[in-house]
């Protein structure tokens, strides 16, 4: 039997950066994200009878560097005394490049593994397991606008507004297609240990989250954009002020931000956010999405754009 699940990446508007507990991968801060529609990871899991190691294919290639994390996640779902698994992952967007591919991968993995072992956990328990493997993956279990609340020893996750209730669009400007130089887990640890801005980042996060959630509930685009851009630049300030510094941006990242500033000056409803990579995500109202796409495509250094509306959480697809 093989179980297949699909999940979409999510884009944080109020960012997760820093961990409260490394052994359990508990985030130090709460976050708010939007789950996408048209970018996806499909993950198939098959538990087999014979011995031998777990196997992992990512986009048709062996992925030894990811295998230990995948095996650990399978242990969390099915217990350490489980059958070995053959896992196959396909994504329709660049992976490891600041497009939240680990979020969609681990969200899809927990759903597929839970189906394959016949479990009946609820969504929040599965989100907690996904989050133990990749903090942002917990949010991809849910659709629309998602709040992840970081408590002392666990997380809570919930949808605060469905995608149909506020159908924003996201246009991603791809400025580089290779993998990032420093993984986000390692980069977070460096920020916690060395950035002089880390403590104020943590202190102010709840205020940013409250402002963003209120903006979502009020469908106040300008307010959401202002707090999201501020929160994004604060996170990157922690990265830049780490020692050694972590700078994920390139010149096309900055050019894309300038493009978005120019569109805002023309009155278009659009704002930017940037994650642990050089890509720029432009979040906009649907009527602005065509103009945003054209402007970003014409921006120097932008290789490509991808466009998505907001979508549902991870779900099981088929058992064959």
Please tell me what DSSP assigns to residue 138: G
Residue 49 beta carbon to ligand 2P0: minimum distance, rounded to whole angstroms: 31
Is the CB of 100 or the CB of 227 nearer to ligand 2P0?
Answer: 100
Residue 16 beta carbon to ligand 2P0: minimum distance, rounded to whole angstroms: 3
Tell me the two tokens of residue 62. 């062996």
Question: What is the three-state SS of 253-282?
Answer: HHHHHHHHHHHHHCCCCEEEECCCCCCEEE
How would you classify residue 79: left for phi > 0, otherwise alpha for psi between -120 and 50, otherwise beta? left
Question: Among the candidate windows 11-19, 37-45, 291-299, 303-311, which touches ligand 2P0 by CB under 6 A?
Answer: 11-19
Determine if 259 is a binding residue for ligand 2P0 (CB under 6 A). no
- Binding residues for ligand 2P0 restricted to 266-285, rule: CB under 6 A: 275-276
Which of 6, 8, 31, 299 forms a contact with ligand 2P0 (CB under 6 A)?
31
CA distance 2 to 314: 17
Determine if 12 is a binding residue for ligand 2P0 (CB under 6 A). yes
Residue window 87-126: x/- pattern of binding to ligand 2P0, with contact defined by CB under 6 A: -------------x-xx-----------------------
Between the CA of residue 31 and those of 39, 156, 232, 275, 294, what are the distances in Å?
21, 11, 11, 13, 30
Which of 94, 115, 135, 311 forms a contact with ligand 2P0 (CB under 6 A)?
135
Determine if 134 is a binding residue for ligand 2P0 (CB under 6 A). yes
- For residue 2, which phi and psi values (nearest 5 degrees)? -125, 135
Is the CB of 31 or the CB of 163 nearer to ligand 2P0?
Answer: 31
Is the CB of 238 or the CB of 263 nearer to ligand 2P0?
Answer: 238
Query: E strands along the chain, which residues?
Result: 3-7, 10-14, 19-21, 26-27, 31-35, 41-47, 55-58, 61-62, 85-91, 145-150, 155-161, 169-174, 270-273, 280-284, 304-309, 315-319
Which of 184, 205, 231, 308 forms a contact with ligand 2P0 (CB under 6 A)?
184
Determine if 192 is a binding residue for ligand 2P0 (CB under 6 A). no
Question: Among the candidate windows 72-80, 122-130, 131-139, 209-217, which touches ligand 2P0 by CB under 6 A?
Answer: 131-139
Determine if 308 is a binding residue for ligand 2P0 (CB under 6 A). no
Residue 249 beta carbon to ligand 2P0: minimum distance, rounded to whole angstroms: 13
What proportions of the chain, in percent to the nearest 5, are helix, strand and coil?
A: 40, 25, 35
Nearest by Cα to 7 from 116, 121, 100, 122 = 100
- For residue 297, which phi and psi values (nearest 5 degrees)? -65, -30
Number of residues lying near ligand 2P0 (CB under 6 A)? 16
239 and 246 in contact (C-beta within 8 Å)?
Answer: yes
Which of 37, 104, 136, 175 forms a contact with ligand 2P0 (CB under 6 A)?
136
* Residues found near ligand 2P0 in the complex (CB under 6 A): 12, 15-17, 25, 31, 100, 102-103, 134-136, 184-185, 275-276
């Amino acid at each position: 039997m093989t179980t297949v699940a699909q999940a979409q990446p999510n884009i944080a508007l109020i960012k997760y950066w820093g961990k409260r507990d490394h052994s359990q991968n508990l985030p130090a801060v709460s976050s708010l994200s939007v789950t996408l529609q048209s970018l996806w990871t499909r993950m198939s899991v098959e538990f087999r009878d014979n011995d031998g190691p777990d196997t992992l294919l990512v986009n048709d290639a062996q992925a030894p560097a990811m295998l230990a994390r995948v095996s650990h996640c399978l242990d969390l779902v099915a217990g350490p005394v489980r059958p070995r698994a053959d896992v196959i992952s396909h994504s329709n967007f660049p992976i490891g490049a600041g497009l939240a591919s680990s979020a969609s991968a681990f969200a899809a993995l927990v759903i597929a593994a839970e189906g394959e072992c016949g479990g009946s956990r609820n969504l929040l328990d599965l989100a907690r397991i996904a989050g133990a493997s990749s903090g942002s993956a917990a949010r991809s279990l849910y659709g629309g606008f998602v709040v992840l609340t970081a408590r002392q020893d666990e997380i809570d996750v919930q949808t605060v507004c469905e995608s149909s209730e506020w159908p924003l669009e996201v246009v991603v400007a791809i400025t580089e297609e290779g993998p990032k130089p420093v993984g986000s887990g390692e980069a977070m640890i460096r920020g916690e240990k060395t950035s002089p801005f880390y403590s104020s980042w943590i202190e102010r996060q709840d205020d940013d989250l409250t402002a963003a959630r209120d903006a979502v509930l009020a469908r106040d685009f300008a307010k959401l954009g202002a707090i999201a851009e501020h929160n994004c630049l604060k996170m990157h300030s922690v990265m830049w002020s780490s020692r050694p510094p972590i700078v994920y941006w390139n010149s096309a990242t900055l050019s894309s931000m300038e493009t978005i500033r120019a569109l805002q000056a023309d009155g278009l409803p659009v704002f930017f956010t940037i994650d642990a990579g050089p890509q720029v995500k432009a979040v906009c109202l649907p009527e602005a999405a065509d103009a945003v796409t054209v402007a970003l495509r014409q921006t120097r250094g932008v290789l490509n754009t991808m466009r998505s509306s907001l979508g549902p959480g991870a779900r099981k697809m088929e058992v064959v």
